[in-house]
A and B are shown apart, each in its own frame.
Chain A
Amino acid sequence: MIGCYVTGLLPRSTELIEKTRAYERGRISKKELDESFLEGTEIAVKAQLSTGLNYITDGMLRWQDLLRPFTESLKGVTVGSLTRWFNNNTFYKQPIITDDIEREKDVVGNVTYLDKLPKGLSWKAILPAPYTFVSLSGNHYYKDTAGFMFKFAEIINEEIKSLTEAGFSYIQLSDPALVHEPLTSKSKEDVLSLVKDALEVAVKGTSIKICLQTFFGDFLKILPEALDFPVDHLGIDLYGTNFEKLREYSFEKGVALGLVDSRNSLVEEPDELTEIAKEIIESIYCSNIGEVFICPNCDLDFLPWKRAKEKMKVVSSVTERLREEFS
């Protein structure tokens, strides 16, 4: 099976950007801003449908950063200062952990426009993975990282169950921190073992497809250990990973290939991407081809909306071509 989807926040359209700026300057009301987000969400969903993506998100237009819904709604967390978002000219607000963290209500469900998601199609939700949330937080409470990570993994577990009930059929856990910084060979084993255990907690008792999506770094850093992570799919940023070396590994799990570059406006040639994807798929699967998804390497909100839409078309076009190749 070869499918396609987006892997994070979609950009706000020019109109929506204007509304958010107007709101911040006190020129429009909260109600008008909310209406603009609703309209923006409709457009974001429609764009995914019209380009032929298989799993649809609501675009996550309200999300100020990947962590913010959690930063703002979990008990024991306060919103900290602006911090650089990995190696980008964008910033997130650091979660500051002041007490034992608790989930008192739905987090992602409360910031998602469920009504705008298309009935009868598959929905995808995106959440921060435990390792990334813990790595990017300012921890002033937990004595050890493991305790903090397991606690957050429990919260993710509750979230996944709640989102499943709400009708979602696919969960992406975004884990850029896991591949961005180099893991020293000494700590690598311990870190990856802890990540695996935390993921076990996060997925326990769930009945839904789950992908661990890595980006902003080299996926090879977490191989071969990642092949045993308790998730269905592994997401790989091919702009941070040497794919010739990736081909040396043998996969049984599905993969999400981040083939389209969200951090450059240059629109890729589908032919080139198809050829590379084909080579990777043929190399990493010895006999049976696993579930394969074609996707942007990270959030498309690094691009202006129009360019992001063109990138979605490339994702879809490469997927089509691969389906023909492997049919």
Chain B
Amino acid sequence: MNKLFPTQEVGSLAKPRWRLKGYRGKLLSQKEIAEAVKWGKKLRIEDLDVLVKLLSERDSLSRRRAILEWSAKYVIRFFESVGLGIIFDGEQWRSEMYEHVIKKTAGFRFLGYVKSFDYRYFNKAACIDRPKYVKSFYLDEFLFVKENTEREIKVPFTGSYTLVDWTFNEYYERKFSREIRDFKRRKFEAKREFLFDLIKEVIRPEISKLVDSGAMWIQIDEPAATTNTTDEEMQLFVDSFNETVKGFNCTFSLHNCYSNYEILAKYACKLRNCSQLSLEFANRDNKQIGTGNVRAGYKKIKLFENHGFHGNYGLGVVDVHTNFVEPPELVRDRILHVAKMVSDPRRIYVSTDCGLRTRTWEISFRKLKNMVLGAELARKVLE
């Protein structure tokens, strides 16, 4: 891609009601089917009558599979329609970034819900045995996307450090209880072994399949990257990334958000074969048009630059936590502001802060459309 300021999204898009209920095997209301038709027409999806017939059918394995394919196709067209250059399927095949991988891997048991905050919870698993690859968890989805778009594809891939950090580490802590007496040291060594076993047994085999099947760009999602800010833990995170991507003939990038950038910036330059850091910034910024001091949300780019990160930025210019639709001029100015801060404007890829799964399709459509328009405005200024 030679055009300045390529546009991309980060991963998820909300799942429509017909995808959620349909996949659960529930019957859909006329209203929900009408919603599918409405978006289908807007996105110029062909053979909508086939989908309507499918949605009216009774639950079966083949119906569920077909619903996944239809909703992936919808999102691919959605991203194409707004004009994004680099896309995936909005993670329509995945229940959630953590559960999806863990459920398809041996060695884990879900223990139930634990608190995330307030009345929000997440289903947390324990590692009860050495993790073992059972079946692929991203490959079919990737192959479907590949067949259904001509656009550049970036595969979102939940990183090993996050999977480990979000899991109770029973197996390895038990194993090390015989070897290491000090609890703190035991926990750390158990985490390290869990992490590298997971990478070797599960993560790399899946990447290998993706690469062999033609994946050119894999984005490693690591929301937990700066959860533990000690040097030892941050080095472990870096080592896990480097081990994950080692030796593959593929482009890799890292996505991290709502995080401690002071810490991440210190370690980002140690990530090998990391072509892009996709980071959230719009959430930290204000809504005024302009470049310079007004763009306070982007000042931390300097940290990454000063610490010697030379790769590209997936620059978050669209806030995924608000329904405010960023005007193209605001997107433009966010891009132009950062273009002045980095050595080469070609290092900027225009992106959302994170996946858009918490926004409605209406809002996401408008936000992305404006993001693409804003990138075009910025391009005009510099070209």
The smallest C-beta distance from A258 to any residue of chain B, in angstroms, reads 10
Residue from B168, B183, B228 with most neighbouring chain A CB atoms (10 Å): B183
Is B112 touching A82 in the complex (CB atoms < 8 A)? no
Whether B229 pairs with A87 at a CB distance below 8 angstroms is yes
Q: In the complex, what residues of B have CB within 8 A of residue A301's CB?
A: 114-115
A242 interface hit (Cβ, 8 Å):
yes
Question: How many residues of chain A are within 8 Å of chain B by beta carbon?
Answer: 41
Contacts of A87 in B (CB 8 A): 227-229
Q: How far is the CA of A238 from the CA of B177 in the complex (A)?
A: 14
Q: What class of interface size applies to chain B in its complex with A?
A: 20 to 34
Instruction: Indicate if the CB atoms of B119 and A239 lie closer than 8 Å.
Output: no
Set B117, B119, B227, B229: member contacting A65, Cβ < 8 A? B117
Partner of B117, one of A14, A90, A269, A304: A90
A304-B124 Cα distance, complex, nearest whole Å: 9
Q: Which of B121, B124, B185, B187 contacts A17 (CB 8 A)?
A: B121
The answer to whether the Cβ of A303 comes within 8 Å of any Cβ in the partner chain is yes
Q: Taking chain B's interface residues, is the majority helix, strand, or loop, or is none over half, making it mixed?
A: mixed
Residues of chain A contacted by B187 (CB below 8 angstroms): 239, 264
CB contacts under 8 Å to B, within A291-316, are: 301-307
Contact B170 A264 (CB under 8 A): yes
Task: Report yes or no: B114 in contact with A92, Cβ–Cβ below 8 A.
Answer: no
Beta-carbon contact of B121 and A242 below 8 Å: no
Is there contact, CB below 8 Å, between A239 and B170?
A: no
Interface flag for A157 (CB, 8 Å): no
Q: Are A11 and B114 in touch, CB under 8 angstroms?
A: yes
Question: CB within 8 A of A264: which of B117, B122, B169, B224?
Answer: B169
B217-258 toward A: CB 8 Å interface, digit per residue (1/0)? 000000010011100000000000000000000000000000
User: Does B324 count as interface, using CB distance less than 8 angstroms?
Assistant: no
What CA separation (Å) do A93 and B117 show in the bound complex? 9
Closest to A306 in B: B112
Contact of A84 among B166, B173, B227 (CB under 8 A): B227
A218–B116 CA distance with the chains assembled, in angstroms: 24
Whether A241 sits at the interface, judged by CB under 8 Å, is: yes
A64/B117 in contact, CB under 8 A: yes
Is there a chain A Cβ closer than 8 Å to B118's Cβ? yes
Q: Give the residues from 57 to 112 in chain A that come closer than 8 angstroms, CB to CB, to chain B.
A: 64-65, 82, 84, 87-93
The proximity string for A residues 251-279 relative to B, scoring 1 for CB distances below 8 Å and 0 otherwise, is 00000000001001110010010001000
Is the CB–CB distance between A89 and B174 below 8 Å? no
B182 beta carbon closer than 8 Å to chain A: yes
Tell yes or no: A23 within 8 A of B by CB: yes
Q: Which of B122, B183, B224 is the one whose CB lies under 8 Å from A239?
A: B183
Q: Are A240 and B184 in contact (CB under 8 A)?
A: yes
User: Are B173 and A304 interface neighbours, CB within 8 A?
Assistant: no
Q: Please give the residue numbers on chain A whose beta carbons come within 8 Å of chain B beta carbons, in ascending order.
A: 11-12, 14, 17, 20-21, 23-24, 64-65, 82, 84, 87-93, 218, 238-244, 261, 264-266, 269, 272, 276, 301-307
15 contacts across the A-B interface (CB closer than 8 A): A11-B114, A14-B113, A17-B121, A89-B224, A93-B118, A239-B187, A240-B184, A242-B184, A242-B185, A244-B181, A265-B170, A266-B169, A266-B173, A276-B181, A304-B124
Q: Which 10 A-B pairs have the closest CB atoms?
A: A304-B112, A265-B168, A91-B117, A20-B119, A266-B170, A239-B183, A87-B228, A24-B119, A265-B126, A64-B118
